[in-house]
């Protein structure tokens, strides 16, 4: 077993490889870091030199050519926005910054309602048009892209694609808690992962085999601030401009693509338990939703998730 690790996107990454007895001759660690650095260079909301920030700065409806990776993520993000009727919105950058979860810096109290309303005026995934043949996109000058709900998962996929391209077919990739497994461990077993409950919640541990499968989790415990006894999580509801307040402790999604698992987990978190369950069933998404309640936590597994669990 070979192990590699590093840092990216404000978090850490790790890769475990079950390699042949002859070992690995390529500089795999450097290649993994390069794949992740490319995602940051193109899609960082924090780096003003990134392709995403340059796209946001163009305040006109002119077409902009995009790198293939950027375009792939944007196209997928718009598809999930359409499927979720805007619960997932990649043009949420102004609100993310306003609530203190972006490069503008943290905050200790909620913004004023007028400021929220003004930021929402610039929202809207529908304001973004794409041209698949030309690998280009445009917006009406008001949208501010933010890929924080999808880029980390895409980074996992990019690392997996790099490893496969190097002829490595048995591995487990992890970036900031999001994972993708391929092939088998040296003992012939799949990459088993325990899906633990959020902190402070006691539930049975679900176990899943990541065999050509990814997992991503969105939770209100990961990034948040508290003010006067209320918790404000980093997941923003585009429909209200406020952090989600539907009692969702966590949403875990299993999908062949970690990018899609990441985006769907965000969408289901925003929708809440009832609407999230309905969307997961309609789209056959393998999802585990954990909601807080007065009588304790409630867990719901979609039919697709139940088929995957041990």
Q: Is 294 labeled as ligand-binding?
A: no
**HEC letters along 10-40:** CEEEEEEECCCCCCCCCCHHHHHHHHHHHHH
The CA distance from 165 to 33, in Å, is 15
Q: Are the C-beta atoms of residues 104 and 111 closer than 8 Å to each other?
A: no
Q: Is 262 labeled as ligand-binding?
A: yes
- The candidate with the shortest Cα–Cα distance to 89, out of 245, 278, 227, 269, is 269
Rg value, the chain, Cα: 19
Q: φ and ψ at 309, to 5 degrees? A: -80, 150
Task: For residue 204, give every residue at least 6 positions away whose Cβ sits within 8 Å of its Cβ, in sequence order, or none.
Answer: none
Give the 3-state secondary structure of residue 112. coil
- The candidate with the shortest Cα–Cα distance to 127, out of 46, 60, 43, is 60
Long-range contacts at 83-87 (CB < 8 A, ≥ 24 apart)? 83/267, 83/279, 83/283, 84/267, 84/270, 84/271, 84/279, 86/125, 86/238, 86/239, 87/237, 87/238, 87/239, 87/267, 87/268, 87/270, 87/271, 87/275, 87/279
Q: Is 266 labeled as ligand-binding?
A: yes
The CA distance from 39 to 173, in Å, is 15
Q: Which residues line the annotated binding site for Mg(2+)?
A: 149, 262, 266
Q: Which residues line the annotated binding site?
A: 149, 262, 266
């Amino acid at each position: 077993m070979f192990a590699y690790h590093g840092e990216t996107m404000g978090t850490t990454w790790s890769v475990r490889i079950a390699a042949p007895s002859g070992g690995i001759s390529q500089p795999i660690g450097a290649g993994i870091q390069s794949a992740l650095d490319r995602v940051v260079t193109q899609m960082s909301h924090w780096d003003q030199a990134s392709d995403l920030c340059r796209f946001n700065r163009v305040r006109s409806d002119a077409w902009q050519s995009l790198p293939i990776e950027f375009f792939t993520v944007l196209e997928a993000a718009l598809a999930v926005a359409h499927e979720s009727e805007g619960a997932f919105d990649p043009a949420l950058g102004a609100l993310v910054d306003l609530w203190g979860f972006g490069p503008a810096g943290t905050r200790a109290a909620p913004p004023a309602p007028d400021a929220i309303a003004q930021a929402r005026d610039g929202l809207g995934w529908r304001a973004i048009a794409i041209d698949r043949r030309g690998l280009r996109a445009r917006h009406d000058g008001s949208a501010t892209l933010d890929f924080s709900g999808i880029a980390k998962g895409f980074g996992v996929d990019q690392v997996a694609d790099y490893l496969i391209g190097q002829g490595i077919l048995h591995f487990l990739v992890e970036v900031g808690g999001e994972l993708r497994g391929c092939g088998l461990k040296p003992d012939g077993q799949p990459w088993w992962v325990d899906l633990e409950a959020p902190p402070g919640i006691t539930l049975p541990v679900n176990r899943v085999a990541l065999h050509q499968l990814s997992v991503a989790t969105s939770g209100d415990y990961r990034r948040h601030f508290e003010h006067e006894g209320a918790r404000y999580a980093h997941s923003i509801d585009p429909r209200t401009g406020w952090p989600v307040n539907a009692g969702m402790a966590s949403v875990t999604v299993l999908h062949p693509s970690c990018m899609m698992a990441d985006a769907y987990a965000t969408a289901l978190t925003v929708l809440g338990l009832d609407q999230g369950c309905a969307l997961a069933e309609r789209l056959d998404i393998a999802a585990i939703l954990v909601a807080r309640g007065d009588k304790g936590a409630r867990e719901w597994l979609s039919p697709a998730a139940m088929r995957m669990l041990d």
